[in-house]
Structure formats: structure tokens, C-alpha cells
Amino acid sequence: MTKGTRVSSSILSLIAGVEYEVMPAEHGLPEQIDILSVTIEVKGKNGRKRKVELIHTLEESEILQLEDEINEDNKDNQ
């Protein structure tokens, strides 16, 4: 970081693509959600869009929260 550079933190709301699979209920366990990928689309300086993988930047608690939200959405849509 150069002298005079300031750093700030913010919370952003972004639309993310979440790829997951549903693992069937078996051996007494309920149906499980397994998140495979979490991506956002960003536009570079030249205007070209690309997907950026975020799953490795998420905390385990954030992944569990996503799995719970997907599970609830699936229940609501049945």
C-alpha cells in the first residue's frame, strides 16, 4: 500500500450464482444440500465479463447458511 492510501470496509449485496446438488435422504439422515460453487460475474476494464469463484472465500458458517436457505426455498416450492 502506498503512503496516503486509505482503506475502508463496506458490506455489499451482490447477486451470486450458487451451484449445488441435493443428496438424497439415506441411512436415517435427512436430504442434504451440498454447495459446489458460488460465483459472481464481474466486468473487467475492457468490458469483458467473467465469473469469479467465491466459495473458497466463504466461512463455513456462511456456507451452512446458504445451504439452509436453499433447503427452505426447496421446501417452499414443493
Element (H, E) at 16: none
pTM, full prediction: 0.74
Q: How much is the pLDDT for 51?
A: 94
Q: Residue 63, by phi and psi: left (phi above 0), alpha (psi -120 to 50) or beta?
A: alpha
Please report which residue ranges of 1-78 form alpha helices under DSSP H. 60-76
- Interval 20-78: pLDDT, tens: 999 998 999 888 899 999 999 999 889 999 999 999 999 999 999 999 999 888 878 77
What is the per-residue pLDDT for 1? 54
Q: Which residue's C-alpha cell is 421446501? A: 75
